[in-house]
Amino acid sequence: MPPVSPSAPSVLDLAPVVPVVVVDELKDAVPMARALVAGGLPAIEVTLRTPVALDAIRAIAAEVPGAVVGAGTVISPRNVADSVDAGARFLVSPGWTDSLLAAMEGAGVPFLPGVSTASEVVALLERGVSEMKFFPAEAAGGTAYLKSLGGPLPQARFCPTGGITSGTASAYLALKNVGCVGGSWMLPADAVAAKDWARVESLAREAVALAQV
């Protein structure tokens, strides 16, 4: 990704599906991540929405071989610094400001700033950023909107996230300007509550299969 370095890995190429994880109980972080990795989803976005999120990133980074753990819901330069310090290997934001973008550019890891309009995409392209999160995907226009952006802005690539399900993921992944999708359907609340990590692994495998259709 240009703002980091020409040889930096792309978030969009880590995996076709990126689980978007909200960790409420720290003890769930490692077994959940192990199940996702075993199911073929190594890129894991832990959102900074709970008090234990940074500790969860730290635990996954230290204890789950094969996991590429990142931080989501990054909305401030402080979030950037704390996430990288915890071991996050990529950053994802729901939107961006000049100061947040500058912090992510200086973090030394790949990042996806969030956009939902053509003007935001153009503004990032002007700054040398061509890989972005499209959020909230379904509410902001879904596959039809992203397909429309591909005509005038073919250099922009996206990870759509927000409202995507196992039933809609394949349609997004079929678009030329989509590198991966983010979602949480492989982590249903009842399975997490029951600590049913075998089910999570199975759903992760099904998510991988969607990208191969």
The catalytic residue positions are 45, 133
What is the torsional sign of CA 113, 118, 120, 126? positive
Q: Which residues contact 128 (CB under 8 A, 6 or more apart)?
A: 2, 3
Contact 10, 1 (CB under 8 A): yes
Q: Which amino acid is at 73?
A: T
Q: Which amino acid is at 78?
A: R
**3-state secondary structure string, 66-119?**
CCEEEEECCCCHHHHHHHHHHCCCCEECCCCCHHHHHHHHCCCCCEECEECCHH
Q: Which structure tokens are listed for 211?
A: 């990208």
